[in-house]
Amino acid sequence: MKRDTTPGVKPTDADARRDAWWARLRAAPHGYDLFQALRWLDALSPGRVPLGHAARPRDEPVRLGQQPSLAFAASMLAGVHENGTAPPRIAIQGFGLFGPNGPLPTHLTEYAHERAAQHDDPTFAAFADLFHHRLILLFYRAWADVQPTVSLDRPERARFDGYIASLIGRAAHGDRPAAQTAALAAAADTLAPHARYFHAGHLVRHTRNPEGLVQILRRHFGVDARIVEHVPQWVAIERSQRCTIRATRPTLRVGAVALGVAVRDAQSRFRIVLGPLSLDAYRGFLPGGPHARQLAQWVREYVGIEFDWDVQLELAADAVPAIALGSPQGIGRTAWLGQRLEPGPACDLVVRYDVRRGGTPRAGAALHRETV
């Protein structure tokens, strides 16, 4: 196939890929379905109007027509024909005015076939192809517009992104240009828009249960996860609210005050347990790792800021590294002195990501496991 490029301009990689695809189609047209072939052509022609949307045929990279025949075709495509610099023509067999299942009488199919095969006169078939070309492209466009995966062939026209984004309250992100969206999602520690769209079934619910968060984390990170609810913690009492002797303000009655500087709370905090993990996955969830920010974003997306939470990382027993001088191991994170006596995974590290300030997740003080 000859490309419609300006003389002296070097062919691009897109042109080379399109020419290679045309060569494969010419060599084995029977191996392609009609919609499959048109989808390939549409995806390999990003500089053109999508097939079925062009106002004039000259704006389209292909011509479509039907091969008049009374045979029951074994495949949809009959072949590819080229005529100089004109767009190539794809002949199909199963959809059109002719054929045993076509709307025209069979003697007209015989007449069109006879004129083209015996008299080299395709006038009648070419006239019918004026309608075939437009009808086939509209038929393809009606199919492509309702296929979510087809819209991803051209990210700038991914309409289903906007539909799914609207369901989870991110319509502005779905309408954002594809180049800007790709730039924002380029960082390895940032959630891609399609990661949220994939879990729209969980994010669209008004009631957020622990099972939904567990399913999201398991699918996204590919690790075992579970939720421990009602993790106790000590909540500091503000100095102005503490009970003091000889206070100038009125003192509440007994039973309505809390003695001390903190109160025990087991209702507003939960724990995410991940593992057993391999050493690489374990390091990825440490503060500053590639998965730390994603985990914090998922919890913020699903739970919000109502509850406090922390993460317990379980390192598989056979993945616990031996400490050695000069090795890049963090004390309290990936280093254990001596020989571990417990046969199970190393699960004594609990970290808290400081995500309420919007910064990069970092560890608070290493927390000891609390017993209820």
CA distances from 127 to 66, 102, 112, 136 (A): 11, 16, 10, 15
pLDDT, tens digit, 9 for 90 and up, residues 18-68 = 999 999 999 999 999 999 999 999 999 888 899 999 988 889 999 999 999
Are both 164 and 101 inside the same structural domain?
A: no
pLDDT score at 223: 97
In a domain, 5, yes or no: no
Percent of the chain with pLDDT over 90: 50
- What's the gap between Cα 20 and its chain centre? 28
Are both 184 and 76 inside the same structural domain?
A: no
CA dist., res. 273 & res. 214, Å (int): 10
Are both 76 and 170 inside the same structural domain?
A: no
pLDDT score at 179: 46
Query: Is 21 in contact with 44 (CB distance < 8 Å)?
Result: yes
pLDDT score at 251: 58
In a domain, 3, yes or no: no
Phi, psi of 293 (to 5 degrees): -70, -40
Listed as ranges, residues in the chain with pLDDT below 70 are 1-11, 173-189, 245-257, 354-372
Helix (H), strand (E), coil (C) string for the chain: CCCCCCCCCCCCHHHHHHHHHHHHHHHCHHHCCHHHHHHHHHHCCCCCCCCCCCCCHHHCCCEEEECCCCCCCCCCEEEEECCCCCCCEEEECCCCCCCCCCCCCHHHHHHHHHHHHHCCCCHHHHHHHHHHHHHHHHHHHHHHCCCHHHHCCCHHHCHHHHHHHHHCCCHHHHCCCHHHHHHHCCCCCCCCHHHHHHCHHHHCCCCCCHHHHHHHHHHHHCCCEEEECCCCEEEECCHHHCCCCCCCCCCCCCCCCCCCCEEEECCCEEEEEEEEECHHHHHHCCCCCCCHHHHHHHHHHHCCCCCEEEEEEEECHHHCCCCCCCCCCCECCCECCCCCCCCCCEEEEEECECCCCCCCCCECCCCCCCCC
Are both 220 and 322 inside the same structural domain?
A: yes
Query: Is 65 in contact with 126 (CB distance < 8 Å)?
Result: yes
Are both 165 and 282 inside the same structural domain?
A: no
Q: Which amino acid is at 330?
A: G
Paired sense of beta strands 308-315 and 346-351, if any: antiparallel
Cβ-based neighbour number of residue 195 at 10 Å: 17
pLDDT score at 340: 75
Q: Burial, 367: exposed, middle or buried (Cβ in 10 Å; 0-12, 13-18, 19+)? A: middle
Last residue of a domain, one of 137, 167, 195: 195
Are both 98 and 170 inside the same structural domain?
A: no
Are both 285 and 217 inside the same structural domain?
A: yes
Are both 26 and 73 inside the same structural domain?
A: yes
Are both 94 and 29 inside the same structural domain?
A: yes
pLDDT score at 74: 84
Within 8 A by CB and 6+ apart from 143, the residues are 35
pTM: 0.72
Angle (nearest 5°) at CA 81 between 12 and 147: 65
Last residue of a domain, one of 118, 135, 151: 151
- What's the gap between Cα 81 and its chain centre? 38
Are both 175 and 285 inside the same structural domain?
A: no
Domain that holds residue 244: 237-261
Q: Rounded to the nearest 10 degrees, how much is the dihedral formed by the CA atoms of 253, 256, 261, 262? A: 170
In a domain, 4, yes or no: no
Q: Which amino acid is at 184?
A: L
In a domain, 224, yes or no: yes
In a domain, 278, yes or no: yes
User: The tokens of 188 are what?
Assistant: 């390895």
In a domain, 181, yes or no: yes
**How many structural domains compose the chain?**
4
pLDDT score at 58: 87
pLDDT, tens digit, 9 for 90 and up, residues 192-221 = 888 999 999 999 998 899 999 999 999 999
Are both 127 and 165 inside the same structural domain?
A: no
Phi, psi of 236 (to 5 degrees): -70, 140
Handedness of CA 281, 286, 289, 295 (dihedral sign): positive
Per the omega criterion (within 30 degrees of 0), is the bond before 88 cis?
A: no
Query: Is 59 in contact with 48 (CB distance < 8 Å)?
Result: yes
In a domain, 309, yes or no: yes
Are both 251 and 225 inside the same structural domain?
A: no
Within 8 A by CB and 6+ apart from 214, the residues are 225, 226, 227
In a domain, 257, yes or no: yes
